[in-house]
Chains A and B, each alone.
Chain A
Amino acid sequence: MKYSKKVIEHFTNPKNVGEIKNADGTGKVGNPVCGDIMWVYIKVGKRKTKKGEEEYIKDIKFQTMGCAAAIATSSMLTELAKGKTLKEAKKLSRKDIADALDGLPPIKMHCSNLAADALHKAIEDYEKKKKVRAKRRKDENQTNTNL
């Protein structure tokens, strides 16, 4: 089995390693195939566009216990996701990540699954929390008017 140069590069010098304290969203996934673990943290920002406002991934970090492919895909994922709008980031697939790494050995394709899943989970987590916050705010407003 042989890894591409890109995989080895990202494995040797992974980008965006670590934890974000007070992350807006966290995605924790485990690999049912080989038992590896990947945690992704995101910070979401807002920026003005012509049509109004959009949410984007302002910061992203990861922690992974896994093979070289798992570490490289985590690192590549963070590079690909950083700066993307949430809508774009949701569309990031395992194929995008594998392609950006100049491919993965067939037996290692599942590692890139893990990375894509972790990101999608982190976004989901963010959106869920946002909904809860919005609801709480609404409830609070209602109590206020009832005073």
Chain B
Amino acid sequence: MKTKKIYLDAAATTPVAREVLDAMLPYFSERFGNASSLHAFGREAREAIEKAREKVAGVINAKPEEIVFTSGGTEADNLAIEGLALAHPDKKHIITSAIEHPAVLETCKTLEKQGYDVSYIPVDSEGIVDLDRLEQEIRDETLLVSIMHINNEIGTIQPIKKIAKICQEHGIYFHTDAVQSFGKLKLDMKKIKVDLLSISAHKLFGPKGVGALYVRNGVKLKALLSGGGHEQGLRSGTENTAGIVGLGKASEIAVKKISGNEYKNIEKTRNKLLERLLEIQGVRLNGSKEKRIFNNINVSFQGIEGEALVLMLDKKGIACSTGSACSSHKLEPSHVLLALGLSELEAHGSLRLTLAYPLTEDEIEYVTSAIEESVRKLRRISPFK
């Protein structure tokens, strides 16, 4: 059998696009200057960084000075939540959701240990945050609401416009982890009152290890790193020029994709693949059918375990992932799937496919039959058919 290679794990990471790499390359050795230096080498780097800042800001209609470059989405989440908390020690209550990325959840847990009170808002069976509950949880000492835009596992789109409005009405800060949506969905900071927004380059055909935090003008944060006071004092450390240039280029390309047909084409082929997969016996869709990012599929197959399925598909050249306990470091099923109300057994048989590009008819056919065959094989081994 000839093995094709089909990458269906875009929510984990994406390759650096050729154009992005080309834009980055000069900044490793020819234009290597430290952006803080006064000489020509330094100025060259500074210019490149500021251009990138404009491009990143452009994606979400923000002002360039509202963009703070970080080492990625994780750092952006940490800086947003902990940085805000440290700058506002008088308020010690935070509201977040049960399905956040660990970068948010673990930061909240750290604050809990320091005496903060954190409310984890449940989601409905489609993974949408319960807004009534959210509003009920607001108190005088509530500092921040942190709710992600797109969930990385089930692709659910949260109503961040409504959440922003609730927060504004109550005078509370709103942070959203937009790592999975930045450059994919239209976001306008002039229209939605988000105070803090996390960005990562490697989910958008940019390099790993670089990201940004949007900080609305006037929002006070305390830096988490002590040092030379780079990035308006919010992120010390010599700038990762090449990485930042990469994020800038990726942003520029993404803007074109948002207004073009690329994402619509991905969605069309995703829908076709999903339709085929839902014909398999004993399958269920996890998450919302409508309020879902265009490239995400998350399904559970009865009677089998996800890690085994992922490995079997890997043998057929298909790369994807699972929320099964067996594949996690902690040997616990995905907290996101459990929050939807799935049983541990259902979470165990989950499979996530996230498209990086539109699939061809052949690819859809190949992936469908590979999954069908693997599920059948694993069910033959399983005591539950």
Contacts and interface: CB of A to CB of B under 8 A. Distances in A.
Interface of A: 3, 8, 11-12, 14, 17, 33-37, 39, 63-71, 107, 110
A12 B327 CA distance: 18
B325 A34 contact: yes
Interface in B338-385: 344-345, 348, 380-384
Given A68-B307, A71-B308, 11 more contacts: A11-B308, A35-B345, A35-B348, A36-B326, A37-B383, A63-B382, A64-B381, A65-B303, A65-B348, A67-B308, A70-B308
Contact of B381 (A3, A35, A63, A107): A63
Contact of B384 (A12, A35, A65, A110): A65
B54 interface: no
B381 A17 contact: yes
B370 to A, nearest CB: 14
Interface of B: 303-305, 307-308, 311-312, 315, 324-327, 329, 331-333, 344-345, 348, 380-384
9 smallest CB-CB distances across A and B, nearest first, come from A67-B326, A63-B383, A34-B325, A65-B382, A67-B307, A34-B331, A39-B383, A68-B311, A35-B344
B384 to A, nearest CB: 6
Contacts of A107: 329, 331
Given A12-B315, A35-B333, A67 B382 contact: no
Interface SS of A by simple majority: mixed
Nearest to A38: B383
Contacts of A68: 307-308, 311
B381 A71 contact: yes
Contacts of A3: 311
B326 A65 contact: no
A11 B311 contact: yes
A17 B380 CA distance: 8
Contacts of B325: 33-35
A107 B327 CA distance: 10
Given A12-B315, A35-B325, A35-B345, A64 B383 contact: yes
A66 B383 contact: no
Nearest to B328: A34
Contacts of A63: 381-383
B157 to A, nearest CB: 30
Nearest to A18: B380
A65 B344 contact: no
Q: By CB atoms of chain B within 10 A, which of A3, A35, A68 has the most?
A: A35
A8 B315 CA distance: 10
A65 B305 contact: yes
Nearest to B311: A68
A14 B326 contact: no
Q: By CB atoms of chain A within 10 A, which of B303, B312, B382 has the most?
A: B382
Contacts of B327: 67
Contacts of A17: 380-381
Nearest to B379: A65
A69 B311 CA distance: 11
A71 B309 CA distance: 12
Q: By CB atoms of chain A within 10 A, which of B329, B332, B348 has the most?
A: B348
A99 to B, nearest CB: 21
A141 B331 CA distance: 54
A33 B331 contact: yes
29 contacts: A3-B311, A11-B311, A12-B312, A12-B315, A17-B381, A33-B325, A34-B326, A35-B333, A35-B344, A35-B348, A36-B305, A36-B326, A39-B383, A63-B381, A64-B381, A64-B382, A64-B383, A65-B382, A65-B383, A65-B384, A67-B308, A67-B324, A67-B327, A68-B307, A68-B311, A69-B326, A70-B326, A107-B329, A107-B331
